[in-house]
Structure 1
Amino acid sequence: MSSKTLNYKILDELVDKVCLWMPLENWEQLLTDIIESYTYHLLKDDSFVGNTEAADQIYSLRMLRDFFREAAKLENS
């Protein structure tokens, strides 16, 4: 699976699952699920070993997940 195909697959998952009115606390879990899925596909495919673009994307998703975690904490306090 090419990195573009994987990116589209992950994006499709996000679009299918995301609702505009999703509570902030649900975003953290959704992004965690996407990160785990992305990582699973990367580890399963030897052609992704050492792929810095994929690593950057996972890092960005983790930063986004952490942002929503903090936003949910602020909203609930």
Structure 2
Amino acid sequence: MPGDVNGDGYRDAVLPAPGANVAGKAGAGAVVVLYGAKSGLSASRRADITQNTGGCRAPPRRRTASMPRPRRPI
């Protein structure tokens, strides 16, 4: 099912959090996944994913003016 991140059959929401502080780095950013359920999305069932999350290779750093802005989906 499109939008089902964890494969449980319910749609999930993936939200950007570009200003999130990570490991003391202001504005390093994060992605928040709100998992869906039969009753809808739940703020209590969520995952906060940052560059400190296991599997991410780069250390957290603040986006600077020289870094390209993230592309937005059309």
What's the TM-score, normalizing by structure 2? 0.25
- Larger relative contact order (C-alpha < 8 A, sep ≥ 6)? 1
Bigger helix share: 1
What's the TM-score, normalizing by structure 1? 0.25
